Amino acid sequence: MSFAAYFTYIVTYLLMTAGLFIVIARGNLIKKLIGLGIFQSSVYLLYIGPAKLIGGTAPVLATGYSVYSNPLPHVLILTAIVVGVATLALGLALVVRIREAYGSIEEDEVLAEDKANTSTTGHA
Amino acid sequence: MSLSNHLPALQVVIPLVSAPIALLIRQRHLAWALMMVVSWLSLAISVLLWLQVSDGSVISYAIGAWPPPWGIEYRVDSLNAFILVLISGTAALVVPFSLHSIEHDMHQQQHYLFHTMFALCLAGLLGITITGDAFNVFVFLEISSLSTYVLIALSRRRQALVASFQYLMMGTIGATLIVVGIGLLYLLTGSLNIADMGTRLSTLPPSRAVYTALAFLSIGLSLKLALFPLHQWLPNAYADAPSAVSAFLAATATKVAIYVLLRFYFDVFGLPRLNEAGILPLLMALAIAAMFVASAIAIAQSDLKGLFAFSSVAQVGYIMLGVGISNDTGLTAALLHIFNHGITKGATFLLLGIVMYAIGSTDLSRLRGIGRLMPLTSAGLLLCGLSLIGIPGTSGFISKWYLVLAALEAGHGWLAFVIVVSSMLAVAYVWKFVEVAYLQEPDAGAHLQRKPVLTMALPTTVLCAATLYFGLDTRFSLGAASAAAKVLLSGVGGVTP
């Protein structure tokens, strides 16, 4: 139960917290997406870390090898990476559209313009 | 093997495959026709599945013939067959509605994209519900979520872009927390099959890791199901999305997340462990807060779409209250309300879609005297409002009645009182509509921009009729809900009825 045994978990939760903090604390939509990317990546580590055995090989039966890494988490995370890429791509596409529509990618400016707009149309 | 053995796979595969086909067709009417066929086929399949499991049996389908728990298992029991019928039934009604409704919501050359995304969203929601594999839940969750973000952003209103982006942020955080929870459970049990996970977990001693997994799953799913105070994404997403999308999401999206929560709570963790963790009182507290706060915010809304979106957050509170009470009647009430609120809110947003189509706005200031301009639509909205309040004769009454019974059965008399008092708030927000629609004169020269067409009126009438019908004849809804509640309570460590 040493520090080394928990190393991947510590890194995972550090990255997770850092990513979530960026998402909440930054107003720039691109920076928010970067935070979201870090947040998602931390989960990859959570799955991959425990699946890797030091000295373990790919699970292919061969003479001389008896320690294998678990391939299942790797495959799961391959799927999660694809999902993560799709999410980021969609997020960035939305930011492009938001910039075209509002001329800004700062959350407070966009929301302020929405507010100003609804208060004028509301009385029309 | 005959085709009927493959119904569980076809349930998901048909809409999933139709998405790229609709994309390749590029012709909006053909894509719509394809979606009509697909959504009604899905409904037929889910009804067939429901009939097969209505005797209490379980269908286990091994994808690629890899036996569970190694392969991905599709598992249909009386709980998720019920949810499948709700999802595909709503889709089968929203697709015909969408033909004309989306004409004014988005550019014509984007219509085939709407149908593509709708197919993906349907496949995702059906997939989440039917799968028996925890990681597969996450994959389908993301398929449905990503397509939902696009569906919202397709709207012509630029606010929809911001709403979609906010939903993307919150939704992705929720989904990621869910994967962390699933990952921790996988590390603990070495299995991804939900049923197998539950059996293995019940043999493990209580540990901090189990509770951490429970916490991650609870918060992630609470984000997805819009449990107060994690509901921030929902009102804008519902209010700014194209009308057909609002209706489909309001009837299904949060309900599916609640289903996943129930599955993990009762089939993986089991009731004894939930009581050990003490999470159910917390859920009840948040549910009660949702019932009051969200209803109060709904009263302050000036746009009907926003008003009914906040009402959705409040109604999720009633469902979660039933989950929190967690006795047989409580879960029956929760599942009944998933169904009854699903059809009521689906009908509400379809009616708002008609208002949007005819008037061009759902802002209360533009709807003065709408009771005279659009008598049938207004009567429908009034009916849905009464169902949201829980007036006897509407479907909303049945679920609230069982919720009150559950509270009394659990010995929480005060809770029954709370449910009745919070319904008064619903009276207040429905009254806002009644006042504008029936007690105010139409503006001079007010007229309809467009007359509602049959493809919109027919599905809406069906859902409104269902709202009324399931308030009078509860054989299907109550029977299915109590059978589903029995499945949940017979889960890990539970009592077999």
Closest CA in chain A for residue B135? A76
Site from B155, B161, B208 to mutate, A interface, most A CB atoms within 10 angstroms: B161
Kindly state the average pLDDT of the residues B184-188. Answer: 90
**What integer pLDDT is reported at residue B329 of this predicted model?**
87
Torsion angles phi and psi, residue B433, rounded to 5? -70, -45
Kindly state the average pLDDT of the residues B292-319. Answer: 89
- Contact residues, B window 317-356, toward A, CB-based 8 Å cutoff: none
Kindly state the average pLDDT of the residues B209-214. Answer: 90
Task: Give yes or no for residue B244 having a pLDDT over 70.
Answer: yes
Query: Does residue B138 belong to the interface with chain A, where contact is any CB pair within 8 Å?
Result: yes
Q: Tell me the shortest Cα–Cα distance from A63 to chain B, in angstroms.
A: 26
**Proportion of chain B above pLDDT 70, given as a percent:** 98
Per residue in B32-89, pLDDT (tens digit) is 889 999 999 999 999 998 888 888 788 888 888 888 888 888 988 888 888 999 999 9
**What integer pLDDT is reported at residue A121 of this predicted model?**
44
**What integer pLDDT is reported at residue B125 of this predicted model?**
94
Q: How confident is the model at residue B492 (pLDDT cuts 50, 70, 90)?
A: low
**What integer pLDDT is reported at residue B143 of this predicted model?**
93
Kindly state the average pLDDT of the residues B100-104. Answer: 81
Query: Does residue B142 belong to the interface with chain A, where contact is any CB pair within 8 Å?
Result: yes
Domain boundaries of chain A, sorted by first residue = 4-122
Q: Which of B139, B149, B159 comes nearest A90 by C-beta?
A: B149
Distance CA B353, CA B331 (A): 32
Q: Tell me the shortest Cα–Cα distance from A67 to chain B, in angstroms.
A: 18
A39·B173 Cβ contact <8 A: yes
- Topology of A4-122 in CATH? Helix Hairpins (1.10.287)
| Residue written as token pair 């709570």 | B265
**What integer pLDDT is reported at residue B358 of this predicted model?**
83
Q: How confident is the model at residue B1 (pLDDT cuts 50, 70, 90)?
A: low
Task: Give yes or no for residue B447 having a pLDDT over 80.
Answer: no
**What integer pLDDT is reported at residue B203 of this predicted model?**
87
The model's pTM is 0.92
Q: How confident is the model at residue A109 (pLDDT cuts 50, 70, 90)?
A: confident
Q: Which of B25-29, B369-373, B376-380, B394-398 has the lowest mean pLDDT?
A: B369-373
User: What is the predicted ipTM?
Assistant: 0.90
**What integer pLDDT is reported at residue A119 of this predicted model?**
52
A87·B146 Cβ contact <8 A: yes
For chain B, the average pLDDT equals 87
Closest CA in chain A for residue B142? A83
B168·A43 Cβ contact <8 A: no
User: What amino acid occupies position B323?
Assistant: V
**CA torsion B83→B383→B438→B248, rounded to 10°?**
20
CB pairs under 8 A between A and B: 70
Kindly state the average pLDDT of the residues B364-375. Answer: 81
B172·A46 Cβ contact <8 A: no
Closest CA in chain B for residue A103? B158
B161·A94 Cβ contact <8 A: yes
Task: Give yes or no for residue B338 having a pLDDT over 60.
Answer: yes
Q: Which of A113-122, B120-129, B171-180, B236-245 has the lowest mean pLDDT?
A: A113-122
